[in-house]
Amino acid sequence: MNTYVEKITFLQEPAIKVGNEQLEFIIVPGWGSNLISLVEKESNTELLRVPTSVAEFWDKPVLYGTPILFPPNRIDQGAFTFGNRTYQFDVNEEDKQNHIHGFVHTRKWDITKAEAKGNSVTVVTEFDSSKHEDVISQFPHHFNIRMSYSLNGNLLTKQAEVMNKSAETLPLGFGYHTSFLYPEERSEFALSAEKRWKLNERNLPTGELEDITYREELNNGIRLVGLELDDVFLSFADSRGLHTARLVNGLTGIEISYTVDENFKHWVAYNKDGKSGFLCLEPYTWVTNAPNLKVPASLSGIQGINSGDCKTLRTWVVISNKSGQKLPDKL
């Protein structure tokens, strides 16, 4: 299978274009290592919400491509305590008085590898917090995040490695804000959801879980026409410990299987007003505002990385224009 890696310019930004005979993606390292475009080549179909200008991207950077969230979603007043340290993040959602979406999705990353070898092609990017004083001032840990993107056939694999280079245990919350194009009237969405977190008026979980009235439809496939989502779901795992969401575009016949490892037990699904033509799927290792919730860590997902240790998080996206194709047994 022909594979390729090219240095390009995307909306005036240095970028890397990667592809094979089935898929092509573009990563913009200066925009938070955002995998900004993903194209199914047989039908020449763009699968992600892609900005048309630099201004459009920076107006709402979290709503394009696949932003990396560290930590993900909202933290009440931007403040929490973990271990013996109290943290104060910037309040960047002023109307709700929350910090939202962390430090890495709008800052520059470095490309450390871009290689096509046989049937596989890989791009590696890295973020080093020690290069960003404004990050260290809020989150006083030296940490590195290494993102590895690999393409093999119709399988896109993403691996995140979070390395704690500081002397203290690092609180870990990680996620993606994947913005898929989604024509509501002709598409179907399925998620392996068990419960939904009850939210308050500031979109923060109360700590209570509630039943999903449309759970069976959501698990098996549901149309979202007229259904506005900005919901936080607790997912259940399959026999391999994996969690999966699925999108089927009725206009193109393309099916997207979005699978994450056992660390990602929480998903946010957001579609703005339910008629804007996109659906953001956001798998998280911790639930929104996890450090401030009075629930067990095993439920909230909050965990720590000891000094000198590394946490690896894996994600797989299978793109098919033949309904029913599943994630390979061997990953």
What the block records as the tokens of 137 is: 């001032």
d(CA 242, CA 265): 9
Tell me how far the alpha carbon of residue 266 is from its chain's centroid. 11
CA dihedral 46, 269, 282, 78 (to 10 degrees): 130
Going by C-alpha positions, the residue among 216, 260, 221 that lies closest to residue 237 is 260
Q: Is the dihedral of CA 272, 274, 275, 276 positive or negative?
A: positive
d(CA 48, CA 68): 15
What the block records as the tokens of 294 is: 């009075």
Instruction: Give the active site residue among 101, 105, 177, 243.
Output: 177
d(CA 269, CA 279): 7
What the block records as the tokens of 142 is: 């030296």
d(CA 127, CA 130): 9
Q: State which amino acid sits at residue 135.
A: V
Q: Is the dihedral of CA 282, 192, 183, 16 positive or negative?
A: positive
d(CA 308, CA 304): 12
Using alpha carbons only, give the angle 144, 300, 262 rounded to the nearest 5 degrees. Answer: 65
Active site residue 177: yes
Q: How many CB atoms lie within 10 A of CB 144?
A: 15
Active site residue 243: no
Residues annotated as catalytic (active site), given as ranges: 177, 282
